[in-house]
Amino acid sequence: MGTATHNAMSYFPIGNTRPVDVTLGCQVDKECDMLLLGCGDVRNVLHTIHELQTRGTTKSKDQTINIHLNDIEDSILGRDLILLYLAGTIDPNNSEDLKFLLGVWYDVLLSQEHLQRLKQVMKRVSLVQSGNNGVYFGNMKSEVSIKRALLGMEKFEMNGKQMRDTRWEFLNSLYRTNVPKLFMDWSTGQMVRPKVDLPQTAVDWITQRVSAQCGRLDKVQRLKDRYHQEIRDYITTGVTRVNLQSLSSKRVVDSFSGNMTLLRPGWNIWTVPDDCCPYLSHDIDLELHRYDGCKVTLASLCMEMLKKWVECFQAAMEDGCILKIYMWLGEATEVCEKDLPESLRFDFIDTSNLADKIGLVSVLSCSRNRLKQPNGVLRTESFDYTRLKGVVSVERYLSGCIDVPVLMYPTVFGLHLAEELSLGHESVPPTQFPLRTKLTLKWKTAREQKNLTAITLDEKASDAVSAALEKVKTCPGLDDQGPLGHVIKACVKSATENILQRVQNFAKATTKRNTLIEYTDHYLVTIQTDPECLKKGTVSMDCVDGDPYVMVLQNSHNGQSSFRQTLSLSCGIALNTSNVKVSRKRGKLKLVLSRMLT
Ligand SMILES: C[S@@+](CC[C@H](N)C(=O)[O-])C[C@H]1O[C@@H](n2cnc3c(N)ncnc32)[C@H](O)[C@@H]1O
């Protein structure tokens, strides 16, 4: 068996954040396409279906939902197939079935009964044909690799002791060397030296993170003690309370076997970070009032959530909604740029915290051309703030990723933020070790460049973009020296090239008579017309049909107009802070247009 160290590439078969509704609560079209890049486990798929079913969307006969899953690891997608197969076939009213699903999803060790059942499921899933049960392999490469990974898992066995030892070795290494030697406690302003004493340190960290998500748990000391004990049991035995029941740690190690879906095939060592656990990947807040630590445990609340997901997943398939799930194996940017069918576009792209792995710029660049126009929405997430030294603002995060003004994002990325930065982001709390702040941003496509009035970049703006891209090439904040360094560098290279190409395309077509120059915070437009048109009357500027992206400039004299110019811009314009200067003699108009953020 190999040696587990935290330096080995971490494996994420279990989510470490709460589930997300990929549709973000938006109304969806009759044919809705979703793409989950770096999807990890299938909690976001099941949670989204649950939300759509609750909202009635999937109950409609002519509704089609296409969900495209991508991950760089074949075994993660293989495991997703197993979990989806179980979600589609188990009986949600049978508690043994639910315990089995919970076990496969979260338990490090499985009872012999669960293990045998899992092996049968693996065999069946590895024979599945593309298109059966609504699951499709995006391409041959995905099908071959995912099936191979499934067969590899099915053949592999590890007894309870070996599994416990490799997991413990990894956690020891993780805690002993990954803990900062000193860290700032932002509440006291003191530097603190953390002690490492397993399993207590692990219990402290995980309970702190759970408590940060579900503050109410700590209010009653009796309940606090119980949930701390439940988490301690999970850390020490690797088995959730519903499957552990009253078995001792020794009994479990002696009679249970390793859950091979939690090991990367061929590695035989545990590499799953400590925060990949059910308590951090389920939204149990609303049911916490029922928690008593005995009959209702954290694990039983998670199992109830799974039951609801399974019920909705099965109901959605039975209700006549067409639900198709596609599997795309590969590096996310490559899948977007090379593997997906040329014309495939998405209403929703979710990227988990891929931005922490390959950089926000890479994620924006590869997703941009995969969004439907004009309403496609992209979600990015990041919780890697270590470089920001605790004090967090969205602006600092963004400028840490790429140092260009947010107002230039439509030009640079072809995307703009879908919400005001000040909305809901005013008080992003500082990252306070061992807690992490998750920053979610939503993006929409900017208007198609080909439909916009041609612009020139102001020299300073152009230099700013070039300098920012040079900095992006150094992979700021990314682990480009780690085992996935080559992947990160390739993603960043491709992203910077795409952006450069985009920006260069702008340089093309401005006419001599009219110029539209993009500055970092405004546009300067110069229009040359026949001086006769401007000699008399007034000149006005307005949005066309209330659209702040399209401006019409025209003169008016005795109710007649002899001059009219329309401008289509990549940012909305704030009319109240924009102005027009008219040089009547020379027939020249100079417009300073203030740009809006969203
Ligand atoms: C972004 S990671 C982090 C864990 C995540 N927060 C969660 O809760 O699952 C999630 C998944 O992304 C995958 N991944 C990492 N880098 C990738 C890449 N460049 N392309 C595609 N998938 C990637 C990992 O294999 C993992 O399964």
Quick one: 249 and 394 in the same domain? no
User: In the chain, pLDDT over 70 holds for what percent of residues?
Assistant: 92
How many folded domains does the chain comprise? 3
Quick one: 130 and 239 in the same domain? yes
The 10s digit of each residue's pLDDT in 535-557 is: 888 999 999 999 999 999 999 98
69 touches ligand 1 (CB under 6 Å): no
Quick one: 114 and 253 in the same domain? yes
- Measure 15 CA to ligand 1 centroid, in angstroms: 9
Show which of 322, 345, 369 is a domain's final residue.
Answer: 322
Task: Report which secondary-structure segment, H or E, holds 493.
Answer: helix 485-506
Q: What is the largest CA-CA distance in the chain?
A: 96
Q: Please, which residues bridge with residue 568 across strands?
A: 550
The beta strand positions in 359-495, using DSSP E, are 377-382, 415-417, 439-445, 456-457
Q: Is residue 339 part of a domain?
A: no
- Measure 353 CA to ligand 1 centroid, in angstroms: 7
- Measure 271 CA to ligand 1 centroid, in angstroms: 14
If pLDDT is split at 50, 70 and 90, which confidence band does 381 have? Answer: very high
pLDDT of 71 higher than 70: yes
pLDDT of 1 higher than 50: no
Range of 565's domain?
Answer: 514-595
350 touches ligand 1 (CB under 6 Å): no
- Pocket of ligand 1, candidates 11, 36, 47, 71: which has the most ligand atoms within 8 Å of its Cβ, to mutate? 71
pLDDT: which is higher, 83 or 427:
83
Quick one: 500 and 518 in the same domain? no
Q: Is residue 65 part of a domain?
A: no
The 10s digit of each residue's pLDDT in 333-364 is: 999 999 999 999 999 999 999 999 999 999 99
pLDDT of 196 higher than 70: yes
Backbone CA torsion sign across 89, 95, 100, 103: positive
Q: What is the pLDDT of residue 448?
A: 84
- Measure 236 CA to ligand 1 centroid, in angstroms: 26
Pick from 562, 544, 554: which is nearest to 580 by CA?
554
Show which of 506, 540, 557 is a domain's final residue.
Answer: 506
17 touches ligand 1 (CB under 6 Å): yes
Quick one: 531 and 476 in the same domain? no
The 10s digit of each residue's pLDDT in 213-263 is: 877 777 788 888 889 999 999 999 999 999 998 899 999 999 999 999 999
Quick one: 492 and 540 in the same domain? no
Angle at 181 (CA atoms; ends 196, 397), nearest 5 degrees: 115
Q: Is residue 52 part of a domain?
A: no
Quick one: 128 and 161 in the same domain? yes
Quick one: 104 and 202 in the same domain? yes
38 touches ligand 1 (CB under 6 Å): yes
Quick one: 105 and 168 in the same domain? yes
Show which of 443, 478, 506 is a domain's final residue.
Answer: 506
Q: Is residue 76 part of a domain?
A: yes
Task: Report which secondary-structure segment, H or E, holds 81.
Answer: helix 74-89
Kindly report the protein residue whose alpha carbon is nearest to atom 14 of ligand 1: 38
Average pLDDT, integer, range 53-62: 88
- Measure 551 CA to ligand 1 centroid, in angstroms: 42
Pick from 108, 29, 25, 109: which is nearest to 346 by CA?
29
Quick one: 170 and 269 in the same domain? yes
358 touches ligand 1 (CB under 6 Å): yes
Q: Is residue 24 part of a domain?
A: no
Q: How far apart are CA 365 and CA 411, in angstroms?
A: 12
pLDDT of 89 higher than 90: yes
The 10s digit of each residue's pLDDT in 499-513 is: 998 888 776 655 667
CATH number of the structural domain spanning residue 576: 2.60.40.790
Write down the mean pLDDT value for the chain.
89
- pTM for the whole thing? 0.92
Pick from 385, 409, 410, 381: which is nearest to 396 by CA?
385
11 touches ligand 1 (CB under 6 Å): no
- Measure 76 CA to ligand 1 centroid, in angstroms: 9
Quick one: 292 and 412 in the same domain? no
- Measure 40 CA to ligand 1 centroid, in angstroms: 6
382 touches ligand 1 (CB under 6 Å): no
Q: What is the pLDDT of residue 3?
A: 47
Backbone CA torsion sign across 126, 334, 400, 479: positive
Q: What is the pLDDT of residue 454?
A: 84
